[in-house]
Every structure is written in C-alpha cells, then in structure tokens.
Amino acid sequence: MNATETIVVSRLQLLEKQLLVLYRVSSVLNKSLDMKQTLAEVLKILHDDAGMHHGIVTLSDPSHGGLSVGSIHVESEEIKRSSNSVRYRPGEGIIGRIFESGESIVLGRISTEPRFLDKLELYDLELPFISVPIKSRGGKVIGVLAAQPAILSDIRVMLPDCTRLMEMVANLIVQTISLAHTVETEKQDIKEERDELRRQVRSKYGFDNMVVGHTEQMRRVFDQVRRVAKWDSTVLIRGESGTGKELIASAIHYNSPYANNPFVKLNCAALPETLLESELFGHEKGAFTGAVRQRKGRFEQADGGTLFLDEIGEISPLFQAKLLRVLQEGELERVGGTTTVRVNVRIVAATNRNLEAEVEQGNFREDLYYRLNVMPIKIPPLRERIEDIPDLTEFLLAQLGKQQGRKLTVTDNAQRMLMSHHWPGNVRELSNCLERAAVMCENGVIDRDVIFLSGLDIDSAVSIKPSIAQTNLDINDPDMDERERVVAALEQAGWVQAKAARLLGMTPRQIAYRIQSMNIRVRKI
C-alpha cells in the first residue's frame, strides 16, 4: 500500500468508528434526563471510542454572562473540582471566541495559537485541538464542546473528519442541554412562586392579622392554638359551621415549626368513599379505570407538614378503620399497591358533629376518637361572643373594601342590629351578610337599611332558639316541597353536596341531578 492508500484505509476505519460513536452517543441521550450524567457519558464515549481526549462541555451561564464548565472528562479529581470555578468571558481565549462567533475553531497544534489559555493545564500543546459551538434550534450559542484528538499518527489529515464528528455530537447533545435549562428555569420559577405564596400565606395567617377576637372565650382558643402549634400532637377542632375551624387549623400550621412544609386540606364529606380513599392514600398506576399513572395521596403530599381533615365526623366505619391504621402506624399502602409508604404528618381534624354521641351510638369508632381527640379545641359559636362582632365587622369590611377598592364603614345603628342577630351560620354568615350589604350600599356606609336589604331578617333571627339555629331547617318537614328540602339539606351541610346527599339519603349523583334540574344556585363554600 502506498501512502495515499494507507490514508484512505485509515480514514475508512475512522469513519466506521465515528458511526459507532454516534450510535452510542444517541443511545446515551435516550437513557436519562440527568444532563450532568449524560454529558459525562458522552465525553467518555468520545474518549474511549473516538480518541477525543479531555473532552469538555462549557455552557452559557446567565449568572455571569459567560461560560462555565458543564462537564469534563479527566481522571484527576482535583482538576475536576477546580474546573467548577473556571469561567470564560465572551471573546476570552478559544472557547470564549466560539461563544461570540458561533464558528468552530480547529488548531493543528495548540502551541502555535497564542490565544489558547489552557486554564486547566490539561492539554498536550503539541497536539491538535478541536472546539465546536453547541447551538440551540434558534442558532443561539448555548455552549462549546471541545477535545483533543490524540490517537492517530496521521491525525492532522483526519482533522476535518474529527471536527465533523464533534459538530454532529454537539448537535445531538443540544436537546439534552436545552431541556435541562428549561427544567431548571421552570424549577426555579416554581420555587420562587412557592416561596412568595408561603410568604403571603404566612403574613395572611399570622394570627394577629387574620383571626379576630378579643372575648375571653376566643382568647382562650388563641392561647390553646399557640400552645399546640409548637408540637406535633393531633388536634381536634370542634365548633358549629362557620365558626372558623379551618381558619384555626391554618393558624396552627403556620405558627408551627413545620410552617415551611405543606399544609394540605381535605374535606372528608366532599367525596364518595372510593374517591376519598385514593385521594387520601393515593393510588398505583392501573389501580382502577382511569388511574393512568401513579398518584400520591394527600397524606404523602403533606409529608413533613400538616394534613387538615375537615368534617372528620362524616367518614364511614370502614374508612375509619383504614384511617386509624395510618394514624397509629404512620404507614399506608396506595390503592392497588403493596409497598408500604411511611409518612410523617401532623393531623388537624375538624368536625361540627357531636362525636361523643356518635361514639355512643356506634357510628364513630372509639379508638379513632381517642386518637384524634388528643388536643381538643372548641370554638364557641358567634352568639356566645357577641362582643367580638364589632371587631369582626371592621376586619371583614376592611377585606371587602380592599376587594372593592373603596373604604367601607358601618353605622352604630347597623352595628347594634348585627349584635342583636343570633348568627346560626356564625362568622361565615356575618361575612356573607356584610358582603351583600357592601355590594348594595352606594356610598360605602353600611346602615340599618342596607343590612335589612341584604336579607338579614332581624326580627325572626332574634327569636331563633339556639337548638333550632344549630340544626337550621328541618329537612323532614312535610310542608316542604322537594326543592326546599334540597336547599335546606345543602344549607345544613354547608353546601357540601355529598354531605347533603347523605342527609337526604340520596347518592351524590342524584343530588347533583336535582340541583341542576331544579336550577338551584350552588353557593361557594
């Protein structure tokens, strides 16, 4: 073989090898979403199979406007470590120039190029050096891939082929890098949004500016909240509908050491039992029709934080047993799964039912009752703390005023009228009444007339006896028509449809059908 023939043969061998390299690189890219790991494997393939040594990928870094090392193939751990702090400004050295120009630079011998910086003191200065841009789809340079070809004796003749290989590899890895950038940016955005929301929520639920009350009864409640918040004991909040159970649950979480961890809520009355189970415990892929992927339940979502189980008195005996196990053992299995998942969650439960009576009647498990009732907090109904009404009114009007962008005030007369009402719906009823009044008053001053117009029936209201007020309307009243009965049940159930359905002995589907066909406007809860 003459010299030309020899070159042709070794070029053929090189191209064959390069094809294999491309195949291996593309397989690696399909394997993982971890950019660092992928780039390290690509550089290793370039080293092992293509003789491209000391490969390095530098990536554009918005924090300083230049390039930082994304991955490097070297044996020395020390060089690897020091590469973390290496930066290239745009235009600086060979790498910085490619970042600026977007053109590959190939050196036949490094020592002939004075601009070569060799910041890592890694390369053989008598050998060639190939560096190519990594360009995004829009043509923007997002990094540089470089390496030193070091195996063939006639390498300089092969430089164009090696450069083409490097360019092809750069084209292949661009997607991995872009994807990692997008994921990283999104992650950062989500983190910032989360922190901002937490800040907002914390300032919102910081006790003093959210939960209003100065009466002895409420001061006692606040004192209990402050004490229990510090620990991870289970809390059971009792109180009539609308007294502020959810608000107090939030206050406990946001004043606890877990305030930075999740606060997850679940209304146990809002879901039928089968859904409740998968909602709380999660499910495995394929556990039931529609379970297309594995899903974490509220317990797992709340890991490290607080899980608020609202309307706990509504769950069936079967479900009570399942819940008891998680509370006792801190372990659960997702629906359709066999692996045991450990969770570390602080439970705050709430109910407006008389749980003791339910236990007595055998509707609520005694053992679960004792598990939940570790730290009971009872929120008194509003009619037992009438003196809180002026403060609550002022607070709620300030909130409404913010929403409406104007100042809202209430006259003394109107205030007296509010204080003489019995408030069967407690603070929520007061809040709704003020909202209606605020919508109706033109000048921002809420007086007696506006309160009347808002639908507060003061005369009948004062005459409502506590026992009747608590049960609202009797859904079994024979004088009621079907529509009135559904509305009464919804009212009684705090507009939780599943709960109202249970009161009426209907399925959730049946009540939903009636609400629609009877054109009942569902109140937001």
Ligand X SMILES: Nc1ncnc2c1ncn2[C@@H]1O[C@H](COP(=O)(O)OP(=O)(O)OP(=O)(O)O)[C@@H](O)[C@H]1O
Q: Which residues bind Mg ion (CB under 5 A)?
A: 246, 310
Which residue from 307, 336, 339 is spatially nearest to 323, judged by alpha carbons? 307
Binding residue for ligand X (CB under 6 A) from 60, 163, 234, 243? 243
State in angstroms the smallest separation of the CB of 446 from ligand X: 18
User: In the bound complex, what is the minimum distance in angstroms from residue 423's beta carbon to ligand X?
Assistant: 11
Nearest distance from residue 142's CB to ligand X, in Å? 48
**Is 395 one of the binding residues for ligand X (CB under 6 A)?**
yes
By beta carbon distance, the residue nearest Mg ion is: 246
**How many angstroms from the chain centroid is the CA of residue 269?**
23
The amino acid sitting at 26 is S
- According to DSSP, residue 64 is labeled T
107-115, 199-207, 211-219, 444-452 -> range binding ligand X (CB under 6 A): 211-219
Q: Does 469 bind ligand X (CB under 6 A)?
A: no
- By the rule CB under 6 A, 504 interacts with ligand X: no
Q: Residue 310 pairs with which residues in a beta bridge?
A: 267
d(CA 26, CA 88): 28
The reply on whether position 282 binds ligand X by CB under 6 A is: no
Told to check if 270 binds ligand X by CB under 6 A, we report no
C-beta separation of 400 from 432 below 8 A: no
Q: Is 246 in the site for ligand X (CB under 6 A)?
A: yes
Q: Does 381 bind ligand X (CB under 6 A)?
A: no
Q: Is 428 in the site for ligand X (CB under 6 A)?
A: yes
- Mapped onto helix, strand or coil, the DSSP state of residue 144 is strand
Based on CB atoms, which residue is closest to ligand X, 127 or 247? 247
| Nearest residue to 485 via CA among 509, 514, 522 | 514
Q: How far is the CB of 256 from ligand X (least distance, A)?
A: 17
Closest CB 133 distance from ligand X, rounded Å: 57
Choose between 246 and 358: whose C-beta lies nearer to Mg ion.
246
Q: Which of 71, 104, 352, 454 binds ligand X (CB under 6 A)?
A: 352
Our finding on whether 499 is near ligand X (CB under 6 A) is: no
Scan residues 476-495 and list those touching ligand X (CB under 6 A).
494
Select from 28, 98, 107, 211 the one that contacts ligand X (CB under 6 A): 211
Q: Which amino acid appears at position 487 of this protein?
A: V
The binder of 247, among ligand X, Mg ion, none, by C-beta within 5 to 8 A per type, is ligand X
- Residue 11, helix vs strand vs coil: helix
What stretch of H or E contains 54? strand 52-61
Min. distance of Cβ 401 from ligand X in angstroms? 15
Residue 295 C-beta: closest distance to ligand X, Å: 26
What DSSP element (H or E) covers 83?
helix 77-83
Residue 55 tokens read as 């490969």
**Contact of 79 with 73, CB cutoff 8 Å:** no
Smaller CB distance to ligand X: residue 116 or 395?
395
Q: Which does 239 bind (CB under 5 to 8 A by kind): Mg ion, ligand X, none?
A: ligand X
**Sole binder of ligand X in the list 431, 454, 492, 497 (CB under 6 A):** 431
Among residues 207, 139, 220, 169, the alpha carbon closest in space to that of 52 is found at: 169
Q: Which is nearer to ligand X, 320 or 399 (CB)?
A: 399
Applying CB under 6 A, what is the total number of residues that bind ligand X? 18
Among 213, 282, 305, 381, binds ligand X (CB under 6 A): 213
Nearest distance from residue 447's CB to Mg ion, in Å? 31
Residue span binding ligand X (CB under 6 A) among the ranges 226-234, 235-243, 334-342, 475-483: 235-243
Length of the chain: 525
Question: Largest Cα–Cα distance in the chain?
Answer: 116
Closest CA to 328 of 371, 266, 373: 371
C-alpha distance from residue 472 to each of 219, 458, 492, 493, 496 (Å) = 28, 16, 6, 10, 15
Paired strand residues for 263? 306
Sequence-ordered list of residues with C-beta below 8 angstroms from that of 220, at least 6 positions apart, any chain: none
Q: Looking at beta carbons only, is 128 or 213 nearer to ligand X?
A: 213
- Of 13, 25, 19, the closest CA to residue 169 belongs to 25
Tokens of 362: 């055998």
Residue 247 binds ligand X, judged by CB under 6 A: yes
Closest CA to 50 of 24, 80, 28: 24
Residue 352 near which of Mg ion, ligand X, none (CB within 5-8 Å, type-dependent): ligand X
**245 scored as a contact of ligand X (CB under 6 A):** yes
CB contact at 8 A, 134 and 67:
no
Nearest residue relative to ligand X (C-beta): 244
Segment interacting with ligand X, rule: CB under 6 A, options 14-22, 64-72, 205-213, 415-423: 205-213
Both tokens assigned to 66: 């230049």
66 binds ligand X (CB under 6 A): no
Smallest distance from Mg ion to CB 474, Å: 23
**Span from 106-114, 184-192, 244-252, 443-451 in contact with ligand X (CB under 6 A):** 244-252
Q: Which CB sits closer to ligand X, 158 or 312?
A: 312
Kindly state the smallest distance separating residue 262's Cβ from ligand X, in Å: 19
Beta strands in 375-487, from DSSP E residues, in sequence order: 375-378, 409-410, 445-446
- Here the tokens at position 113 are 């190029």
Q: Are 476 and 505 in contact (CB under 8 A)?
A: no
- Is residue 241 at the binding interface for ligand X, with CB under 6 A as the rule? yes
DSSP string, 445-473: EE-HHHHHHTT--HHHHHH--HHHHHH-S
Closest approach of ligand X to the CB of residue 377, in Å: 11
* Helix 3-31 with 35-50: angle, nearest 10 deg: 160
Question: From the list 56, 212, 377, 511, which residue makes contact with ligand X (rule: CB under 6 A)?
Answer: 212
Q: Contact positions toward ligand X, by CB under 6 A? A: 211-213, 239, 241-247, 352, 392, 395, 427-428, 431, 494
